Structure 1
Amino acid sequence: MADADDNTTVTVSRRSFLGAATAAPVAAVGEGLSPDAALRRAWTQAAYDAAALRRDANRLRTALTRRIGPAP
């Protein structure tokens, strides 16, 4: 069961990701960043957010498994 905790998939639609990624460069260009640098910053932040969501999902799955037992 411990191996199954590492296989969490977070689904993000292309539309929601591109919406967030394209909104960031517009705000960041005013801060002196190039559009490429701003897009990279948004991409990196999205990767960090996805990793945090995976950690939360794994933590919640582990807690639920401890409470009710493993799936049949």
Structure 2
Amino acid sequence: MDRKRAVEEAIHAGEMEGAYVSDEFRADADEFAQGSMNIEQLMQRAWRRNDHNAGKRTGELHAVR
């Protein structure tokens, strides 16, 4: 399967499960599909965009009950 089709199928599957796919992620995924970046770069951009370390820096993380 080529990258373009893999990206399209992954986005579609996520949306079918109720996930929101941002325009920013779609643009990054398009760059990945065109071969402008590798999967690690795509994931790093998504991770940074969603700032998963914000709670760790401020101590705002709480246990999920």
Q: TM-score range by the shorter chain?
A: 0.3 to 0.5
Q: Name the TM-score, length of structure 1 as normaliser.
A: 0.31
Structure label with greater radius of gyration? 1
1 or 2 for the larger relative contact order (CA 8 Å, sep ≥6)?
1
Give the structure with the higher percent helix: 1
Structure 2 length normalisation: TM-score? 0.33
